[in-house]
Amino acid sequence: MSRPRTVGELRRIVSGPGLSVKEEMRRNLLRKLSAREPLFPGILGYDDSVIPQVTNAVLSRHNMILLGLRGQAKSRLLRSLTGLLDPQVPAVAGCEIGDDPFAPLCRSCRDRLAQEGDDTPLVWLEPDDRYVEKLATPDVTIADIIGDVDPIRAARGGFDLGSELTMHYGLLPRAHRGIFALNELPDLAGRIQVGLFNILQEGDVQIKGYPVRLPVDVCMVFTANPEDYTARGKIITPLKDRIGSEVRTHYPTALEHGVAITQQEAWTDRAADLHLPRYVREVVEGIAFAARRDKKIDGRSGVSQRLPISALENAVSNAERRSLLAGESPAVPRISDIYAALPSLTGKFELEYEGELLGAENVARELIRQAVGEVFSVYMGAVDFAPVVQFFEAGGTLRIREDSPASEVLGQLHQVPEVLAHVHLLGAKPEDPAPLLAAAGEFVLEGLWAQKKVGRSDDRGFVAAERRDEVEIDLERLERLRKLKRQVN
């Protein structure tokens, strides 16, 4: 069935205005709940916390704000609210604010409907057309958000400046019959926040210079970082009081949730000859978990989920580059590729004083080591690697370069007794291609180093445990600096 193209054709199907946008979202949400459909596809790790609260806010017809640190999918969650809008709704063709043909707000639409009547043409708005988003910055004005007098329009049309036809609509009126999202609300100047009072409480806006209140139909949603309230600005109390629901977001609470999010977001499906082991994914995700609890990193600024996403992409790229240079297949990321991804780690966290003394790169190396140790304990915690440890204690060494081809790495690993005896626990098999076995063997050695059962240095590679590496030396230097600071104080 073709869609109505004029108001007259539409009038034969429906007799009056549609539901308000909040009623529309509520109705569609109830239908999804009854049908057990996914509410917000692509939003992972929030099923038992954030999503139920957002659901309650929509069912209550509330305007809402999402509070959370950076990289917690706040903007993505807001954009997914368009899934609760109808697939298409009719609007007067050419209207700046998408007026309902049966309940027009703007003066031009009212005049046009009075003149053209049932012959007034229609357009059909899709959900993305009904979503307006604005990043709050200190230079945003009331004219940007609400609107202002447009003297150029008045001059061109020969209208009096007091005429409604000279109105310039801001972003909020342009979101009429839709969702208006304002990101980073604390960055909005206080006097501009005051301009949102009416729409949140009374349901209308007033444009400067006109004695007209426009009952704009809109669902207002906001995001904010709670740590920004004092660092860059704050949400004024009367505005907070007018926002119906405050929903707190969070980082993944379980490693598997983080792995699933990173797997969804990271660009790793590049070629058929790429194999990404599960344990490598877990190590990359473990870095973010370790960073969020590390006292050398400022927890107030947060550690974004973008850290593991960027690190995994960088590690895969390093493996891809090595594979091409060595002419081997498949390309398999190794733990050394994660160390090669340091440039994607050091810019993703803010350091405390102790971290500044140690340096961002050393902090990142320590985080990788912690993550490797934890994942190694899960996969290999019950395995006795005494023969491997004895090999190094007897004076054996093994140097594996980041760019070493898999065949070369595998040849060296075969010198170490039983280092590959348990790679089946990592999902590898003896008949697997060399890159898979090389990655598994390197992970075993890195895990033993993380647990301080063997040692490692940049110039000699893996050695006996009593030979300390540079990170351990740096940690001793940090402890000496701490003691010196206490003596000075």
- Assess contact for 405 and 322: CB atoms under 8 A: yes
What is the residue range of 119's domain?
A: 7-248
Nearest to 406 by CA among 432, 375, 444, 429: 432
- From the list 53, 205, 218, 65, the residue with the least C-alpha distance to 143 is 205
> Cβ contacts of residue 276 below 8 Å, gap of 6+?
268, 316, 332, 333
- Identify whether residues 303 and 362 lie together within a single domain: yes
In Å, how far are 259, 288, 309 from 312, measured between CA atoms? 10, 11, 5
Confidence of residue 153 (pLDDT cuts 50, 70, 90): confident
Give backbone dihedrals phi and psi of 85, rounded to 5 degrees, phi first: -90, 155
Q: Is the domain of 228 the same as that of 140? A: yes
My answer on whether 304 and 234 are in the same domain is no
Residue 444 vs residues 195, 240, 450: alpha-carbon distances, Å: 60, 52, 10
What CATH number has the domain bearing residue 209? 3.40.50.300
Tokens of 75: 């903007």
Is residue 488 in a domain?
A: no
Looking at 215, 248, 281, the residue that finishes a domain is: 248
Looking at the structure, do residues 266 and 175 belong to the same domain, yes or no?
no
Residue 486 DSSP SS3: helix
- Note the pLDDT tens digit of each residue in 412-460: 999 999 999 999 999 999 899 999 999 999 999 999 999 999 998 877 7
Same domain, 193 and 272: no
Q: Could you tell me if residue 489 is inside a domain?
A: no
Closest by CA to 149, choosing from 201, 217, 211, is 211
Let me know whether 43 and 125 are in one domain: yes
d(CA 210, CA 321): 63
- The pLDDT value recorded for residue 418 is 94
Last residue of a domain, one of 248, 277, 297: 248
Q: What is the pTM of this model?
A: 0.87
Query: If you average pLDDT over every residue of the chain, what do you get?
Result: 90
* Last-in-domain residue among 189, 218, 248: 248
User: Is 403 in the same domain as 471?
Assistant: yes
Do 330 and 376 lie in one domain? The reply is yes
Same domain, 231 and 272: no
The answer to whether residues 236 and 260 belong to one domain is: no
pLDDT in tens, 374-393: 999 999 999 999 999 999 99
Total number of domains constituting the chain: 2
Residues 184 and 312 both lie in one domain: no
Count, residues in the chain: 489
| Pairwise CA distance, residues 333 & 322, whole Å | 9
Does 363 lie in the same domain as 218? no
